[in-house]
Amino acid sequence: MPKRKIRVAFIGIGNSASTTIQGLFYYSSGRGDSGLWHPIVGGYGVEDIEVVAALDVDSRKVGKDLSEALFSEPNIVEKRCEIPRTGVIVEKGLLEDELNPYLASQLKVLKQDKEGVVEYLKKSNVDIVVNTISSGLDKSSIAYANAACEAGASFVNATPTSIATNPDIVEAFKKKGIVVVGDDLMSQLGGTALHRGLVHFLKSRGIKPIRSYQLDVGGGLETLNTMYEDLRDFKKQVKTSSIAEEIDEGWEVVSGTTDYVDFLGNNRVTYLQFTATGFMGSSIIINVNLRSNDGMNAGNVIIDVVRAVMKAREDGLSGNVSDISNYGFKKTLEKKRIHDATMVFESKYCK
């Protein structure tokens, strides 16, 4: 008996959502699976995901068909495939926070209350809500999580806000018999994943890292938003803590975004340096320069996580499912090294 479609709502129709949704159409249109990390997760293919609802607070997206909103300002993501009209009209979203000056200068806000969002999610019969709103909007992300829980939908938190690491929220989802995973999406091959992966490789070759740093420069609204000092410091802590999961005692690590460069668009340039010791204490220095695209880096992970969450629900799991959170996110309840987390996820969901 064929599985039914996974009914998904996206919150925040920005660059990451645009790329991910383009990917759903791209890989469901018979173009093969080149570039797709895991063609099958939890028994589901990409074609089994259906976007049935979308919310945003920018007036340039609200009221438009999703196919048009994906490419509306301030989005700057590259169009990789044509999206036919979907019939999904972007609804007004929640905004419970005061916008910092960077976001306020970019957004033209339309919003509604939580009750309206709950009703919309129920009416759309949503299985899973994916939260990709701008970082730093903590009250809004929490309100969205509560709305999803009330509507009986599982929740994927791609933002740094403490949702899947908040005991009260996790317990509320558990009581409802639904899943919540997060927090802070880890790109497929962004600076944090590469940093952690290189640590694993060095240690596997008998090399002892002494110190390392990671500096990011990027364009796009998310990077501009990160220039707000409080948010920049918070994201630096989250990234550094995630990398520290690979660390043995005696290793210094610093990670954080340094600046915004408009003409980089949705691209990000990451600079990594490792200082390590080898045979007889010999010095080894590694410099790495990575250029990647934020939206493209998000697509594979979000698609994998959505399918895994659906499978977890079918298996009767609820609350924070650590095997999914550890695979796809930087800030998690359980600390696990990136190689181990990936192996566990693949063994459970990609067989």
Alpha helices in the chain (DSSP H): 15-27, 66-69, 101-104, 114-123, 138-151, 167-176, 191-204, 220-226, 229-244, 294-314, 322-328, 338-349
Averaged pLDDT score across all residues of the chain: 91
Query: CA torsion sign, 225 to 229 to 230 to 232?
Result: positive
* % of the chain beyond a pLDDT of 90: 71
Q: Is 184 left (phi over 0), alpha (psi -120 to 50) or beta?
A: left
DSSP label at 134? P
What confidence score (pLDDT) does residue 248 get?
66
pLDDT band at 234 (very low <50, low <70, confident <90, very high): low
What confidence score (pLDDT) does residue 231 get?
57
What confidence score (pLDDT) does residue 108 get?
86
What confidence score (pLDDT) does residue 238 get?
67
Least confident of 31-35, 124-128, 235-239, 330-334: 235-239
Query: Model-level pTM greater than 0.85?
Result: yes
What confidence score (pLDDT) does residue 17 get?
97
What confidence score (pLDDT) does residue 184 get?
93
- For the segment 83-95, the average pLDDT, to the nearest whole number, is 97
Output 214 or 163, whichever has higher pLDDT.
163
Output 32 or 309, whichever has higher pLDDT.
309
What is d(CA 292, CA 199) in angstroms, rounded to the nearest whole number? Answer: 20
Least confident of 26-35, 191-200, 223-232, 272-281: 223-232
**Does the pLDDT value for residue 194 go beyond 60?**
yes
**Structure confidence by residue, pLDDT tens digits, 316-346:** 999 999 999 999 999 999 989 999 999 999 9
DSSP H or E run through 259: strand 252-260
What confidence score (pLDDT) does residue 228 get?
58
Please spell the DSSP secondary structure of 299-318, one letter per residue: HHHHHHHHHHHHHHHHTT--
Domains and CATH numbers, the chain: 6-186+296-349 (3.40.50.720), 191-292 (3.30.360.10)
- For the segment 221-247, the average pLDDT, to the nearest whole number, is 70
pLDDT band at 173 (very low <50, low <70, confident <90, very high): very high
